[in-house]
Structure formats: C-alpha cells, structure tokens
Amino acid sequence: MKRPARAHPLWLAFVLHRLSGLGLALFLPVHFWVLSLALTDPARLDQALHFTERPLVKLAEFGLVFLLAVHFFGGLRLLALEWLPWSAPQKSLAAAAVAVSFLVSGTFFLRAI
Amino acid sequence: MMLDLRLYMLQRLSALVMAPFVLVHLGVMIYAIQGGLSAAEILGRTQGSLGWFLFYGLFVLAAGLHAAIGLRVILHEWTGLCGRALTGATWAIGAALIFLGGRAVLAVTWGGA
Amino acid sequence: MPDAQATLSVTVSRGGYDSRQRQIFAVPAHENQTVLDVVSWIQQSLDPTLSYRFACRVGMCGSCAMTVNGVPRWTCRTHVKKVLDGDRLEIGPLRNLPVIKDLAVDMEPFFDKWVAAEGRHHPTRGRAEPIAPIDPLDAQRQTANAGIECINCSVCYAACDTVAANADYLGPAALQRAWTLLNDAKDGNRQGILDAVSGSGGCHNCHSMGSCTAYCPNELDPMSAIAGLKRETARTFFKRRG
C-alpha cells in the first residue's frame, strides 16, 4: 500500500478503520474457540478466564475494546458520510462527537477492570 | 466480482444489524467482569436461555458475514487475490467464522457441558 | 552558503514502462519558479531526450500533471518554493497509469473508465424540439454543477490508493462525471448510469479516503459525488427488491 507524501486526516481514518477491522477479524476465531471450551473442556475455560486477570491481558482487552470502538464509530461516520445529506462542517462535528464518545467508553471500560 | 452493489449492501446492513448488538455485548461484558470472571458465573447466566441463544446466534451470523466481506476487500487490495480464489477464500472465511461462532453460542447457551 | 541557495538538486524518474532509473540534475534556482519551469529547463538546457507533457502552462488544461515529491500536482501551478525539500525536488510520472516514457503517461485507461462509467450525455430530445428549460438555481442542477469543471487531468486518479490496489475500480473522476449526469435533468439514461457504477469496478469500492478531494487542483469533491452515487444505488436497491 503506497501512500501520498502527506497523509491527511480522512486517509488516516481509513487506515485506522481497516486495521481495526483486520485486528477484530483475527481476534474473533480465538474468542470463539475459548468460549467453546465450555462445551469440551470447562476446566480449561476457567483456566483461560483466570488467565485474563493478568494486567497484561487487561491491557490487551482494553486494546480490543479500543479497536471495536474505533471500528464501530468509524463505521457510523462512513454511513453518515454516505447516506445522510450532511454538509462538511456537520461531518467534522460528527467526527468530534465520535472521538469524545470513544474517550468516554474507553474510560468506562478502564474503570470496570 | 469485486465489491459490487450486493456485497456493499450486505456489508452495510450487517453493520447496522450489529450496532445494537455491539452496545449490548459491551454492556454485558462490563457488568460481567465486576468482581472477576468465572465460567460458572457466565454459564449460569447464559445456559438454557433461548434469549441469549437468539441474541448471540444472530450476532455470529452478522459478524461472520461482515468480517468475510471485509477480509475479501483486504485480500484483493493488499494481496491481489481475485476471481475464483478470492470468492473461495471469502466463503471459507465466512463459513469458518460462523461454524466457530455457532459452536461457541451452543457451548454457552445449551444446558450442561 | 550562497551556492547552495542557487542550485536545486532535481531527481527525475526516467525510462520506459519496463525499465526505470532515477537521474539527478543540478538546476539553477530562481525566486519565481514553477516545477514545470524546472522540467522545461532540464529538457532545453541539459538533456533534450527528457520526455514530458505540457500545453497551456497557466493551469487550465491539466496536461502537465506529474508526481512531485510524492504528491500528484499540476507542475505549472506548483511553485518550487512550496514543495522544495531542503534543496531537493523529486519528479516522476503520475501514479496508476502506464508510463510511455519518462514523465509522460498513457491516459487511455483513464478515458476508457470515463466511458465505462457512462460518463457521456444521453440526450432526450432531438434538434427539432425546443430546448428543455433548466433552472440554474434548482438544487439538483447545483449538485451537478459542483462537479462539471473537471478537466480530466487525472490527478485524483493518481492520488487514489483504491485505484492503485484495484485494477477494476473506475476511479474518482469517472464516477464524479457519472454523478453530474445522474443529476442532469436532460440526461435520459439514469438506470444505465446507476448500473454502470454498480459493477465490480463501481462506486462501492470507494473507501472515502478523500485523497481525490484533497488533491484536486480545481477544488472539486469527487468523494462526495461518489457518496451520492452510493446513496442513489442503495435507494434503488431496496426499490427493486420491492
């Protein structure tokens, strides 16, 4: 992927959206497999859940929620840009609102852990 | 072949379907991790529940579809994969995600391990 | 040092489509100088074999578009001072189009995609009939007007990463033209245009990176035009499924 010499905000938004989607798509099978342990090996599931209490894992979990929030709100931004008859300044406002919402949700999650 | 109107609409619609699911899932997670995670606590809430079965079942279908289409675009743009190989990969990824996800849904919502 | 100020170090990408090299030229610097001035000076004073395109040299034809320090620009409207990296300038042909020689690219794929997007007017009346009146203040007309000043310079096409990654993708210029025709009350093939932009190379491949809008020298907004196409095709998607 070659990029223009000056990467501009909308282009960075695209990269963030793509990488977060990729990250989530790679995480999902792992997530599904761990949960399936309830079917085949419940003791191992408990082990896995206990493992998630480690601080490094908590950090990784926050990273995942970050990816999810970025992808989710970025996607909403795209849908608004494409399907709603908003003008340019309103879109910037939407982007700002999104950033704030994400900060709030991120903090919320950190508080919970 | 590539992202034509049908695939685009499926991608956007599955995203819209998932929006409320994501919010509920985040809420459930934040609630569930208060006071530590355990298999017994999770399964106690979800096993034998038709509601959770339907919720997560639909979530898995939408996520599998959405991720498969998203990965299709990434595969084409970043590796040049195209034609039948690309279509094959897309179906394989979708099927794998829905299979693994389905197993996880069953593991967590059907009674008894 | 006075000498360093007086000379530019200009790296030019040379060669045919299959063998590229980079050649460095020392070019005298001037107070008022465009990148086109630099390229012309090299060809006229140092190396007559350098191939490049230009025509009007006043920013209305788009022929002189090249890649300057990684960015697609009209070289006649790019002051050297604005893009100089120290004393260095790097000039190459436009991205995403086949190179003929040195800085001249083959525009044919660009025009082929223009036609493939149904970027030509489909008349509804013959010359014997009265002209259909169009109110210039009509909202739809204003939407169309926003995109009609495209001069096919292909800077947007060169700037687009999706064009680079997807050979089928029609590109911002072609799709913007399709959008202006879709909003042209006199155009008689609305469905044809929607079908043309809904195929494998259609508007749905756009990821809204916005490089097209960011780099258009005419300050047009192809990204919003493409968003409009997505909106219209999505609307008819549901109508057709009834």
Query: What does the pLDDT look like over B38-47, one tens digit per residue?
Result: 777 778 788 8
Tell whether A68 is covered by a domain.
yes
User: What does DSSP assign to residue C197?
Assistant: T
Render pLDDT for A68-81 as a digit per residue (tens, 0 to 9).
Answer: 888 888 888 888 88
Render pLDDT for C86-144 as a digit per residue (tens, 0 to 9).
Answer: 899 999 999 999 999 999 999 999 999 999 999 999 999 999 999 989 999 999 999 99
In this complex, the chains that touch A, judged by 3 or more CB pairs closer than 8 A, are: B, C
All residues at 6 or more sequence positions from C122 whose CB lies less than 8 Å from its CB, including other chains: C181, C187, C188, C189, C192
Same domain, C236 and C120: yes
Map tokens 């995942």 to a residue.
A64
Of C164, C207, C230, the CB nearest to A14: C207
How many whole angstroms from its chain centre is CA B73?
A: 18
Tell whether A2 is covered by a domain.
no
What percentage of chain C carries pLDDT values higher than 90?
Answer: 89
Q: Domain of residue C133: give its range.
A: 108-241
DSSP string of C157-192, one letter each residue = HHH-HHHHH-TT---HHHHHHHHHHHT-TT-S-HHH
Q: Tell me if B47 sits within 8 A of B88, measured CB to CB.
A: no
Q: Domain of residue A71: give its range.
A: 10-112
Same domain, C229 and C165: yes
- Which residues of chain A are within 8 Å of residue C165 when distances are taken between CB atoms? 1
Give the confidence band of A16 by pLDDT, cuts at 50, 70, 90: confident
Of A28, A76, A108, the CB nearest to B63: A28
Tell whether A67 is covered by a domain.
yes
Give the confidence band of A111 by pLDDT, cuts at 50, 70, 90: low
Give me the CATH number covering residue A56.
1.20.1300.10
Same domain, C39 and C78: yes
Residue A67's CB: how many other CB atoms inside 10 A?
18
User: What does DSSP assign to residue C93?
Assistant: P
Average pLDDT over residues C20-36: 95
Token pair in block for residue C151: 């001069």
Whether the pLDDT of residue C4 is over 60: the answer is: no
Of A2, A5, A78, the CB nearest to C208: A78
Give the confidence band of C42 by pLDDT, cuts at 50, 70, 90: very high
The whole model's pTM is what? 0.89
Order of strands, sheet of C7-15, starting from the edge strand that comes earlier in the sequence: C20-28, C7-15, C88-92, C65-68, C71-74
Residue B113's CB: how many other CB atoms inside 10 A?
15
Same domain, C26 and C112: no
- Return the pLDDT at B113: 40
Map tokens 């997505």 to a residue.
C230
- Containing A93, the helix (H) or strand (E) segment is helix A88-112
The larger pLDDT score, comparing residue B45 to residue C56, is at: C56
ipTM for the predicted complex comes to: 0.87
Q: How far apart are CA C38 and CA C107, in angstroms?
A: 23
Q: Tell me if A37 sits within 8 A of B107, measured CB to CB.
A: yes
Q: Tell me if C226 sits within 8 A of C138, measured CB to CB.
A: no
Render pLDDT for C190-215 as a digit per residue (tens, 0 to 9).
Answer: 999 999 999 989 999 999 999 999 99
Render pLDDT for B23-34 as a digit per residue (tens, 0 to 9).
Answer: 888 888 777 777
Reduced to 3 states (helix: H, G, I; strand: E, B; else coil), residue C74 is: strand
Whether the pLDDT of residue A91 is over 80: the answer is: no
Whether the pLDDT of residue A5 is over 60: the answer is: no
Tell whether B107 is covered by a domain.
yes
Angle C15-C57-C92 (CA atoms, 0-180°, nearest 5)?
Answer: 25
Give me the CATH number covering residue C63.
3.10.20.30
Same domain, C115 and C226: yes
What Å distances lie between residue C193 and C116, C134, C203, CA to CA? 9, 20, 11
Whether the pLDDT of residue C1 is over 90: the answer is: no
- Which residues of chain A are within 8 Å of residue C72 when distances are taken between CB atoms? 4
Whether the pLDDT of residue A2 is over 60: the answer is: no
C171 touches chain B (CB under 8 A): no
Regions of chain B short of the pLDDT cut 50 = 1, 112-113
Same domain, C185 and C66: no
